[in-house]
Amino acid sequence: MAVTRNADAVAPVRRSSPLAIWFARHMGVAIGSLGRLVRHPLSSLMIVLVIAVTLALPAAVNLVVKNARSISGSWDNALDFSIFLKQETGEEAAAGLARLIEQRADVESVSFISATRALADFKELSGFGAALDRLPDNPLPHTLVVRPSAGNTSASLILLQEELGNLPETEYVQVDTEWVQRFHAILDIVRQAIAIGAALLGIAIVVIIGNTIRLDIENRRDEIEVTKLIGASNAFVRRPFLWTGFWYGLAGGLLALGLVYYGLFLLQGPVARLAGLYQANIAIASMSLEEAAAIIGVGVFLGLFGSWFTAARHMRRIEPR
């Protein structure tokens, strides 16, 4: 039986889209670059560890500032005024002044602390009771602790402070949360220092990755020359080094994230014991999803930028001989 061939029959040809071809090529190069790093585990681990520590340091300090600001933020709601009365003001007059101030619409409550009670509390808390008993007179004045109402604005609080300070019985008015404002100002300075330090550490990461890529390029110089000899472009030759920088940055960012979370885990026990001593509910604020993604994103960006800058600089110097 003769076999006949139909000349009109044409086998279908499947053509991949340019995007699929581009994606397949990049995935091949990415897997190859990752395999090259895996084949040198010790050197790769050292570079990843340096990147991770460099990224984790500013992230950890920023987390400390975030927790400090969160804890002290609740103190801003207690804008109390301590009014220290003149020594010649009697206890009856001080108590009457407390009732008068409490009738104001912009005042929520007034606590009267007599000089006798203040001295007794000071003896108990300071531990100098025997020495204080030898004083001829009580040096402490009567004190009024004024808590403004919640409807006050910043301007009305300043006005209230001035009016309380102008009372004839008033010696001095102290805002109990002024130290909180100073503390927040210090935190702002620390936050600015973190930003500057993070920028310097970012430059260090770029230098570390760039130096690693430079050494890799020198080790593969002959391969690059042969590849260019057969017509490969600089972009094609640069591609595996970009993926190497990507893997370094990604691994460093993930490890940095793990270090920060491990540090938070280690702090859970001491913070719980501290909260128990003060009978307070203190919880450590963790990183948000955006902050965690930012650490990984910064690591990947620095890895890509360092590898691209170094590869682009040295690739132009390597030409087939």
Q: What pLDDT is stored for residue 49 in this prediction?
A: 93
Per the rule left: phi > 0, alpha: psi between -120 and 50, beta: everything else, 288 is beta
| pLDDT higher than threshold 70 for residue 72 | no
Is residue 97 located within the same domain as residue 155?
Answer: yes
Q: Report the helix count and the strand count for the chain, using DSSP H and E.
A: 10, 4
Q: Which residues contact 183 (CB under 8 A, 6 or more apart)?
A: 68, 72
Residue 280 lies in a domain: yes
Last residue of a domain, one of 107, 141, 176: 176
Lowest mean pLDDT among 110-114, 146-150, 306-310: 146-150
Is residue 261 located within the same domain as residue 113?
Answer: no
Considering only residues 132 and 109, tell me which one the structure prediction assigns the higher pLDDT: 109
Is residue 134 located within the same domain as residue 194?
Answer: no
Classify burial at 20, counting beta carbons within 10 Å of its beta carbon; exposed 0-12, middle 13-18, buried 19 or more: exposed
Q: What pLDDT is stored for residue 305 in this prediction?
A: 93
Is residue 191 located within the same domain as residue 60?
Answer: yes
- Predicted confidence band at 73 (pLDDT cuts at 50, 70, 90)? low
Q: What pLDDT is stored for residue 13 in this prediction?
A: 47
Considering only residues 182 and 142, tell me which one the structure prediction assigns the higher pLDDT: 142
Q: What pLDDT is stored for residue 296 in this prediction?
A: 93
Distance CA 219, CA 233 (A): 19
CATH of the domain at 91: 3.30.70.3040
Q: What pLDDT is stored for residue 1 in this prediction?
A: 43
Q: What pLDDT is stored for residue 131 in this prediction?
A: 66
Is residue 124 located within the same domain as residue 103?
Answer: yes
Residue 107 lies in a domain: yes
SS (H, E, C) 195-219: HHHHHHHHHHHHHHHHHHHHHHHHH
Could you give the count of Cα atoms lying within 13 Å of 320 in the half-sphere of its Cβ?
12
How does pLDDT run across 23-42, given as a tens digit for each residue? 787 788 888 888 888 888 89
Number of Cβ within 10 Å of residue 154's Cβ equals 8
Q: Which residues contact 47 (CB under 8 A, 6 or more apart)?
A: 208, 209, 212, 248, 252
| pLDDT higher than threshold 70 for residue 76 | no
Residue 5 lies in a domain: no
| pLDDT higher than threshold 80 for residue 14 | no
Considering only residues 26 and 111, tell me which one the structure prediction assigns the higher pLDDT: 111
**b vs e for 72-83, b when ≥16 Cβ sit within 10 Å of the residue's Cβ?**
beeeeeebebeb
Q: What pLDDT is stored for residue 7 in this prediction?
A: 47
Residue 11 lies in a domain: no
- Residue of 211, 213, 283 lying closest to 244 (CA atoms): 213
Provide the residue range defining the domain that includes 283: 29-74+181-315
Q: In the chain, how many domains are there?
A: 2
Is residue 212 located within the same domain as residue 309?
Answer: yes
Give the chain's end-to-end CA distance (angstroms, integer). 62
Is residue 59 located within the same domain as residue 203?
Answer: yes
Q: What pLDDT is stored for residue 270 in this prediction?
A: 78
Is residue 104 located within the same domain as residue 187?
Answer: no
Is residue 168 located within the same domain as residue 267?
Answer: no
| Segment holding 83, helix H or strand E | strand 81-85
Total count of residues recorded for the chain: 321
Residue 9 lies in a domain: no
Classify burial at 309, counting beta carbons within 10 Å of its beta carbon; exposed 0-12, middle 13-18, buried 19 or more: middle
Residue 6 lies in a domain: no
- Predicted confidence band at 279 (pLDDT cuts at 50, 70, 90)? low
Residue whose structure tokens are 């003060």:
278
Indicate the pTM of the whole model.
0.64
Residue 253 lies in a domain: yes
For the chain, the average pLDDT equals 81
Residue 4 lies in a domain: no
Last residue of a domain, one of 176, 208, 241: 176
Q: What pLDDT is stored for residue 33 in this prediction?
A: 85
Is residue 237 located within the same domain as residue 277?
Answer: yes
- Predicted confidence band at 320 (pLDDT cuts at 50, 70, 90)? low
Last residue of a domain, one of 176, 194, 213: 176
**Beta-bridge partners for 174:** 82
Name the 3-class secondary structure at 41: helix
Distance CA 105, CA 317 (A): 79
Classify burial at 176, counting beta carbons within 10 Å of its beta carbon; exposed 0-12, middle 13-18, buried 19 or more: middle
Q: What pLDDT is stored for residue 197 in this prediction?
A: 87
* Contact call for residues 65 and 191 (beta carbons, < 8 A): yes
